[in-house]
Structure 1
Amino acid sequence: MNERTDSRTDPRAGPRIDAGAGRAAATRSRHPARALFWRLFAINGLVFTAGTFVLALSPATVSSPVLLTEIPVLIVGLAVIITANALLIRKSLAPLDALTTLMRRVDLLRAGDRLTDSGNGDLAQLIGTFNEMLERLEAERSASSAYALAAQEGERQRIARELHDEIGQSLTVALLSLKRVVDRAPEELREELRSAQETVRASLDEVRQVARRLRPGVLEDLGLHSALSALSSDFAEASGIAITREVDPGLPALSGEVELVLYRIAQEGLTNVARHSHARHVELSLRQEEGRLTLRIADDGRGGVRREGAGIRGMRERALLIGARLTVDSPPGGGTDVRLVVPPHAVKES
């Protein structure tokens, strides 16, 4: 006896139906444009269906030919349908405006700028995909910046060693030779030789300063506190700008990467002050507040930084290496305030 299997009662048929529905849902989720099309189609169909029912059930009639008294009724009905359709479609497509705005302002050096899901199911996947793309791009930018900055630090150390070991030693030998020549030279030549000796000595000092800026040996040997102190002293001596330094004595132990980022950003910030600010006074501070480290370089110069140059963008790239946030506040005539906030997870407690 043959039996026919009814898919409505056969328990084996149920999973096949559910699997088919799941595949269809997955297909729709992979095609947001198709889902958006069906949403707009449904909105228009609903609006025109509702308009048809209202006209059918209302006492209003339309003659043939149309009477002048019926024209206002038709215009009002058409206006209501168009307005309702426009409002529903505008609400459905509103996330696209926010997405376009984010696309225009997004900057990979300012991480964390994301678009929140507004609850629109059809565009949620598009928003999520865009946010995932930003995360991938930021991760790739951070990795490439880390590689480039590591190569830059290596090149700086190489140049600093060459300046110290080769040029510095050569100038030292020349200085000692000049001293012996001065001691044996006739009186009428000694003044000129002493002038040449001072020139060589000044050149040697400059080479040592350049090498010290390229490779902060004091940072490796004595730590961040001493390195910032030496940096402040060198800045005040070279620029003639008064500087106030305040470093929290209770700072936790930091990794070498965090210390180097803090030092380099402080160095670049002070360099920008000396070059562009026309300031008379600058404040350098490093404090710990609620687990966060805050590095601040503030001057009383002319301010008005409108376009970020290579120096500030370089500081932003270094900040990304440790997940820190860099802000630059520079109102015209109000000086420039640079702040670097290092989050707690990047601070290694002692």
Structure 2
Amino acid sequence: MSLFGRIFLLNALVLVAAANVLVFGPATVSTPALLREVLVLTAGLGVMLIANAVLIRIGLAPLGRLTRAMTTIDLLKPGPRLVAKGHGEIAELITTFNSMIDRLEAERGHSAAMALSAQESERRRIAQELHDEVGQSLTAVLLSLKRVSDQSPPEVREELVQAQETTRSTLDEIRRIARRLRPGVLEELGLVSALKSLTTEISAQTDITVRRSFDKNLPPLDAETELVVYRVAQEGLTNTVRHAAATEIELCLKRRPSHVELRLTDNGRGIGSSPEGAGIRGMRERALLVGAELGVGPAGARGTEVRLVVKAASE
């Protein structure tokens, strides 16, 4: 039965019941109406309204669940679909809503995959140009400064040596940026070596103590999943360094039955009730690309925990 038909039937039943009470009941209405009769009619009207409200509320309850789902749903946090309870158009509406969410998640996943693929390609291109073009140019400048410095008088040599050091520092920074844009260690030596290199770099550049642990005999991961794990760890470490005011970070890569778990915890100020920024949402988009589970929340009394669970390649 349609929604209109159900509401009409509920109201009709209440009105028919009230008419039967008036026709076949002992109560009558005088002219003018007596106080007792007015009280009886008022009470009957109140009962009718309450019964009508209760019946309509029961009939429209699934729409309330649908409304709450529509206001709280987040395509980056997939959850269980609504159960298509109700009758007529209500069940059909919930089913249509679930189908719409499925399509939106699929389209968003496809769009995110294309965007992230283009982003990685652009990162590789920029890293290659930094290494080949800018890096080689700075190396040539460094060699020229060294040659000029060797042939210069002592009063000028000190300034040239300082210029060499500045150029060398700039060259090192360019190489560091290129490594972060395109993790060559990941492609050549694998995920564990790339994570070790990443944490070593964080320790060398900051005062944060980084502890790391990696299970032996980790199950194999495909190249795309390894890149997702690396980028999530990279973004988590970057967020900790920039915002957490932490002194310690722990990075773990654990073996689970048919899964691999990345866990990153710190002892910083925590995320509190602040909304998720672009970095965390970017991690969620990457996790969705490989069907991984990502959790970001408090780590005990203080600090933040990032937990990523990915399926092994054999699954």
Deviation, 1:158, is: 0.2
Where do residues 106-117 of structure 1 align in structure 2 (5 Å cutoff)? 106-112=73-79, 114-117=81-84
The answer to whether 1:212 aligns with 2:175 is no
Alignment of 1:315 with 2:283, yes or no, is yes
State whether structure 2 residue 289 is matched by structure 1 residue 324: no
Instruction: Tell me what 1:192 maps to.
Output: 159
Query: Identity rate of aligned residues, in percent?
Result: 56
Task: Tell me the CA shift for residue 85 of structure 1.
Answer: 0.7
* Pairwise CA RMSD: 1.9
Aligned counterparts of 1:333 and 1:245: Cα–Cα separation in 2: 21
Structure 2 CA distance, aligned partners of 1:324 and 1:76?
60
Q: Does 1:66 align with 2:33?
A: yes
Q: Matches of 1:274 and 1:282 in 2, distance apart?
A: 10
| 1:304–1:333 CA contact under 8 A, matched in 2 | no
Counterpart-to-counterpart distance in 1, 2:17 and 2:215: 70
For residues 269-280 of structure 1, the aligned pairs below 5 Å read 269-280=236-247
Q: Distance in 1 between matches of 2:300 and 2:253?
A: 25
Instruction: Tell me whether 1:103 sits opposite 2:44 in the alignment.
Output: no
| Corresponding residue number in structure 1 for 2:312 | 347
C-alpha distance 292-53 of structure 1, shift in aligned 2 (>3 A): farther
Tell me the residue number matched to 1:25: none
Given that residues 254 and 260 in structure 2 are in contact (C-alpha distance below 8 angstroms), is that contact kept between their aligned partners in structure 1?
yes
Residue 264 of structure 2 aligns with which residue?
297
Partner SS state of residue 183, structure 1:
helix
Q: Which residue of 2 aligns with 1:232?
A: 199
1:303–1:332 contact (8 Å) kept in structure 2: no
- Checking the alignment, whether the CA contact within 8 Å between 2:251 and 2:262 is kept in structure 1 is yes
Q: State the alpha-carbon separation in 2 of the partners of residues 62 and 332 from structure 1.
A: 71
Unmatched 5+ residue regions in structure 1?
Answer: 1-27, 29-34
Q: Distance in 1 between matches of 2:280 and 2:103?
A: 23
- How much has 1:347 moved relative to structure 2? 2.1
Q: Alignment partner of 2:211: what SS?
A: strand
Which stretch has the larger CA shift, 297-306 or 250-259? 297-306
- Partners of 2:171 and 2:289 lie apart in 1 by 35
SS of 1:167's equivalent? Answer: helix
Task: Say if 2:302 is the partner of 1:337.
Answer: no
Which structure would you say has the larger Rg? 1
Shift of 1:120: 3.9
Deviations 1:172-214 (A, max 9, x none): 1222222222322222322222211111111111111000000
Task: Supply the distance in 1 between the matched residues of 2:114 and 2:271 (Cα, whole angstroms).
Answer: 32
How far has the Cα of 1:288 moved from its partner? 2.6
Residue 296 of structure 1 aligns to a residue in which SS?
A: strand
Q: Does the CA contact (< 8 Å) of 1:302 and 1:332 recur in 2?
A: no
Alignment of 1:159 with 2:159, yes or no, is no
State the alpha-carbon separation in 1 of the partners of residues 183 and 82 from structure 2: 41
Give the whole-Å Cα distance in 2 for the aligned partners of 1:288 and 1:86. Answer: 56
Under a length normalisation based on structure 1, what TM-score does the superposition of the two structures give? 0.85
**Residue aligning to 2:93:** 126
State the Cα distance separating 1:59 from its structure 2 match: 2.8
Cα distance in 1, alignment partners of residues 135 and 164 from structure 2: 15
Are the equivalent residues in 2 in contact too, given 1:244–1:282 (CA < 8 A)? yes
Show the counterpart of 1:260.
227
Q: 2:138 aligns with which of 127, 146, 171?
A: 171
For this pair of structures, how many residues does the alignment match? 314
SS in 1 for 2:313: coil
Question: Normalised by the size of structure 2, how large is the TM-score?
Answer: 0.94
AA aligned opposite 2:234: Q
Q: Give the C-alpha shift of residue 321 in structure 1.
A: 0.5
Kept after mapping to 2: 8 A contact 1:106/1:113: no
Q: Does 1:84 align with 2:51?
A: yes
Distance in 1, matches of 2:206 and 2:225, equals 27
2: CA distance, partners of 1:313 / 1:123: 33
Tell me the amino acid that sits aligned with residue 209 of structure 2: A
CA deviations over 1:307-336 (Å, ceiling 9, x no partner): 211111111111110122222214897211
Give 2:217's match in structure 1, choosing from 238, 250, 255. Answer: 250
